[in-house]
A and B are shown apart, each in its own frame.
Chain A
Amino acid sequence: MTITERARKKAEKLDRLGELSAARDEERGVSLWQEAFRRLRRNPAAIVGTVVLGLFVLVSIVGPMLVPYGPTDTIGIREGLVKSGQGIIPGSSADHWLGFDHQGRDEFSRLIVGARQTLLVGVVSTLIGLAIGALIGGVAGAAAGLGGRWGRWLDTGLMRIVDMLLALPSLLLAVSIAALLGASLTTVMIAVGVVSVPVFARLLRGSMIAQSNSDYVLAATSLGVRRSKIALSHVLPNSLAPVIVQATLTLATAIIEAAALSFLGLGNPDSAVPEWGVMLADAQPYLGIRPALAIYPAVAIIITALGFTLLGEAMREALDPKLRK
């Protein structure tokens, strides 16, 4: 025992020395995610994306309380400034920063209030897609990676269903679902969510299968850990990174798709709630008179989607195992 102890003391000393040289700049208590976060902070794209999204979220939360005019207030017509029939829609002024829309409503207020709707649709539909997709993909991935022959059957079955969804063009699928369920806000969320299901399912499944072949899974198996436990506590946490990145990117497409559905008249029928896609559709007849009416919501959609995309790409880089130290 004394020999063991002496060897251990020696080993400790050497190990400390080794640690000092090898891991000097590694902070204590830094997990994988914290490490990724640190790298994210150093990425300019991530900062731009975060600032854009921060503004977007802020606007959608407090914006409706601060806007100068009600989004449904047809103030322009009341004051006789807007005569759409005669092609008179005034543009920017000191009182109305972005002018009026065709019904004499303050464009700036509508744009601000519409942000909340857009964020809501984007987040909820992405969550729907993520939840269903991750469930299917997680089951399929665990079954395929660890489950033996029956697992492979289950995986094949689930993936064929997912492939059927994937085979349809996403907008066509969303339009079909929205048309089937009737135009409403919930419909838009479900339709856009369902469209992203196959992406999440495929991604998580692939990621889990890849992780199932890794050494630590073999090591856990060699310790007699049950397969369900391996799937949940070893494979799943390691497979989530690409899914989270995808969720950020999906938010961008969800916003665009929701706008597209609204544009096609399948969105919220309640015109009291302004929505960027609806605004875009409304602006269509007046493109010749005041193209800015289409440009404002379009730019808002683009900037928001760009913000999500920038952040998503930066997260992908930060979490990429190949770039990890």
Chain B
Amino acid sequence: MALLDVEDLSVTFRQRGKRTVRAVDGVSFSVDAGEVVGLVGESGCGKSVTSLALMGLLPRQPGISVGGKADFDGTDLLRVDRRAMRDIRGRDVAMIFQDPLSSLNPVIPIGRQVTEVLTRHRGLSGDAARKEAADLLDRVGIPDPTRRLKEYPHQLSGGMRQRALIAIAVACQPRLLIADEPTTALDVTIQAQILELLKALVRDSGTALVMITHDLGVVAGMCDTVNVLYAGRVVETARRRPLFAEPRHPYTVGLLNSIPRLDAGRGDKLSPIPGSVRDVLPWADGCAFAPRCDRQVEACVGEPPQLVLTHTDRTYRCVNPVPAVGSAPAVAEPAVEAGPGPAAEAGPESGPVGPVAEVDPVAEEKQSSVPAPREEESA
């Protein structure tokens, strides 16, 4: 039983006079206790919106609708009422934000920002809270914590600020920690320290960590399981090693190829993914990545690709995946009934019915087979 089970999460932004944006479009993943799970993707793929939705931090406005399920140890985080959610936040689930400077209140000393949570969820106050706060700062590696408690955020260095934010997040020993690009605003040496710290905290406390990042280097260093997101959907899920050893989804391959490598020859050009994240196909009309994909085949358009589950505990969403290492090159089977059918029209109200994990017991070389058209995304 997973600690957090996100099923078919979707977030839709609707504004009068503007195009309806489906930022998260049926994301499913699960997190076990003590596990580090990565959500990877480029800007605009719905990583941050996913985390905000899980924390119930999206503004409650008529134009924003959240669908799906997020089962956290028996509670659906998306359905629980506000009061209960306020109790859960900070105590059971906590979040680390991207920019440590703007996430700390500039006019309040660090100490009060730490004790605030302790008072709220653990009922500590006065000296007990201050002592605990100093302990926390010490645990995240801030030297001279008692003095630091009296200082203001702008007096701390970037790394210190992120440490302070982490201290605040872990103050109540949450069972789940969501880190939204925790190292993006930091320089590289500090990044490494912060990642080390997060790793150590997760290892020592058994906290599950959802790591949201665009940095595959971070993923390689930390995550047990990786979910690659594209245009609001998970396109590939795998354990860390298999993912890096043999990525199957062309988007994952593209991400990996666009990282500069030390062993690349001098003057070798990086191979970026062509186009931009704006060039997407709505999932209802086929594979959102198809317009940018160099393995695009006819079957990519018309019908949303199903999730394919392989025997190696990996799923991907592609009709023409990159062949697994050591297997015959997979060829897209033309046997797809490519007619768009009723799938073309998906009203904003009709959430996706859920990516169906297609279990394929046959070996990986058969992976290119496309399941029969399903009712996913159809109105």
Chain B residues, Cβ within 8 Å of A31: 107, 152
What CA separation (Å) do A226 and B90 show in the bound complex?
Answer: 11
CB atoms of A221 and B106 under 8 A apart? no
What CA separation (Å) do A4 and B141 show in the bound complex?
Answer: 9
- Chain B interface, DSSP helix/strand/loop, else mixed: helix
Chain A residues, Cβ within 8 Å of B156: 23
Q: 22 A–B contact pairs at CB < 8 A?
A: A7-B193, A8-B141, A11-B159, A11-B196, A14-B159, A14-B189, A15-B141, A15-B159, A15-B190, A26-B154, A26-B155, A28-B151, A32-B106, A219-B95, A223-B90, A223-B116, A223-B169, A224-B86, A225-B116, A226-B86, A237-B107, A325-B154
Partner of A30, one of B88, B152, B157: B152
CB atoms of A223 and B88 under 8 A apart? no
Residue of B nearest to A23 (CB): B157
With A11-B196, A29-B150 in contact, do A225 and B104 touch (Cβ < 8 Å)?
A: no
Chain B residues, Cβ within 8 Å of A23: 155-157
Which 8 pairs across A and B sit closest by C-beta, in order of nearness? A224-B90, A223-B90, A224-B89, A215-B102, A219-B103, A8-B141, A222-B95, A216-B105
Per-residue contact bits, chain A 117-137, to B (CB 8 Å; 1 contact, 0 not): 000000000000000000000
Please provide the chain A residues from 2 to 28 with a CB less than 8 Å away from any CB of chain B in the complex. Answer: 3-4, 7-8, 10-12, 14-16, 18-19, 22-23, 26, 28
What CA separation (Å) do A221 and B196 show in the bound complex?
Answer: 27
A209 CB → nearest B CB, Å: 13
What CA separation (Å) do A18 and B103 show in the bound complex?
Answer: 20
> What is the size category of the interface that chain B forms with chain A?
35 or more
Residue of A nearest to B171 (CB): A223
Partner of B103, one of A28, A216, A226: A216
Q: Is B57 an interface residue (CB 8 A)?
A: yes
With A218-B57, A237-B108 in contact, do A223 and B97 touch (Cβ < 8 Å)?
A: no
What CA separation (Å) do A50 and B154 show in the bound complex?
Answer: 28
CB atoms of A15 and B57 under 8 A apart? no
Partner of B120, one of A1, A4, A28, A223: A223
CB atoms of B108 and A15 under 8 A apart? no
Chain A residues, Cβ within 8 Å of B60: 148
What CA separation (Å) do A32 and B108 show in the bound complex?
Answer: 9
Q: Is B337 an interface residue (CB 8 A)?
A: no
CB atoms of A222 and B116 under 8 A apart? no
What CA separation (Å) do A12 and B55 show in the bound complex?
Answer: 32
CB atoms of B94 and A223 under 8 A apart? yes
